[in-house]
Structure 1
Amino acid sequence: FYPFNIRGIIMREAGASMVQEAGFAFSNAITYIQSALERGLDVDAFARRVSFFFSTGTQIFEEAARYRAARRLWARIMKERFGAKRPDSLLFRFTGTVGGSFYRAQEPQNNLIRGAYGLLGNVLGGVQGMLHPALDEPFAIPTEETAKLALRTQQICAYETGVTKVVDPLGGSYYVEALTDHLEEEIEKTIHTVDRMGGAVPAIEKGYMQQCIADEAYRAAMEEKSGKRIIVAVNRFQGEPAAGKMQYHRFDPAMYERQVTRTAQVRKERNNDAAARALRRLKEEAGGGENLIPCLVETVKTYATLGEIMKALKEVFGTFEEPLLV
């Protein structure tokens, strides 16, 4: 169980560069860990339960080097900044997936190849777990067929290519080692910039991270529009539109009504007094700075809904509003 899962992928999919994704994700993680230490926890008691979820592009060597750099840097952060002593507290645990933002609507079958190359970058970078988007990611959730193709892509990479037979297969390559050193330095610069602002929370509240991501997204879009960044079948090697129509996932229109009915039935059959008491206690403990996990567990046992729980917490903490950036 990994209660700390820092999702850099959200920032990368919004437009962040590979360096920004790692740097901002690590800054967020540092804030989480500092908060846990301030509550009196021992870093070695929970460091093994910190994990990351990153997005991977199609630049195989750069992505693999980025993960190699992140692994090295994370070990230093845990040892030098937080004083972790257990060797397994220093490990960089991450799940990687080829970001759907790297897929394109034009000639969607090409996305299968893009995904395979990104998948290889993940493996060469030492990923622990992977999710692999289907080729129709730009349109909808996968069909059974495209989901199976995505799974088979991972399985072929794992069992037919031999890429998993050696740890760090790119280690020793001058190019990859140089990239690793460079990317480690750039990620660390990003972290230091956030540190100088007072940490991740002030950086978010001031809109710094959001502005960096927006600027990078605009830069990448302009490069693609101008042709500086080549995207096959989009701004180079365009072909005729496919004659056949894609098959999209078909959802059951009655599914929404079924879920509404089930929720209403749960509310009817549960002990509503017990649920109300649990929600009141949750608000009280949230306002007092208590560890909310035990209270959340007890609240769920009363069949309080996720919406009710979120409403109670919002009444205490409020709702974050993005700063206006010009």
Structure 2
Amino acid sequence: MCEDKGYFEMGRWNRFGGVFFSIALAAVAVGVGVKGYPAEDLVVKLPGQPPVGFKQYAGYVDVDVKAGRSLFYYFVEADKNPEKQPLTLWLNGGPGCSSVGGGAFTELGPFYPRGDGRSLRINSMSWNKVSNLLFVESPVGVGWSYSNTSSDYIRGDASTAKDMYIFMMKWYEKFPEFKSRELFLTGESYAGHYVPQLAEVLLDHNARSKGFKFNIKGVAIGNPLLRLDRDVPATYEFFWSHGMISDEVGLTIMNVCDFDDYVFESPHNVSPPCYQAIVEANRIVGHYVNNYDVLLDICYPSLVEQELRLRKMVYFSFPFFLQVVA
């Protein structure tokens, strides 16, 4: 649900999703928490939320007190038997996409905004049916995560993994009963870098530690960005081989474009003919199908309705949540 962007070239979800969600949390995060959990982070109820039996928590974890660098998290208990279920960490990609606005509220979290923008509905396919869920706005500058040091907003993969390692260590201090729980590291898109590199850092910790060790059970990445020189040309070869773009456009990309030193930031470092062919391919494919799910049956009414709702909900939801706390 979030376009791939350069670091901190914020998409609409980052400016909107993180903001409206956090404003809502500020209005409702009061009450008594579960024993051993941070009471100050308990979210009693989100505006327009249907009744549920599981608990939600949200707040900040300081990863560098001196620099004033903190990451925002949203934690959802498993719907049933949370004390027996594993912990799943979810990271959206981008880089620069909100894990709260994206993953939590348009993909695998417990709620979806309704089309009227005034309430939430249960996500019947939420991963919290089988796991406790932890969404983190990472790296700093994404969503509601922030730093008081301006240089912190220039981040790389290594520093992002280090911050997430510190985050996990400190988050376990807030939720100590999860320290021994099975841990799944998951994400999508640019999390093809975030997740493996975080896993490596956690495994390095395990190799060194004579005490606490992360109980990593598995790693899962959807639509991962792994290597640009392979991922990018493979995308357009797929479009062409499935008749989604013309021979002229497809063969231009395959024969003219040099992806060996391809850079992530738009407009990329390719020749003008290559760039124009890529723009045309994206225009054609994006007009007819969802680029992230090209096999989606767009003629099926309920799916079309869902797609339109997901595209529109951020525009409708933000004013409502703003009114709730005004």
Superposition TM-score, scaled by structure 2 size: 0.32
- Structure with higher strand content: 2
Higher Cα Rg, which structure: 1
Structure with greater proportional helix content: 1
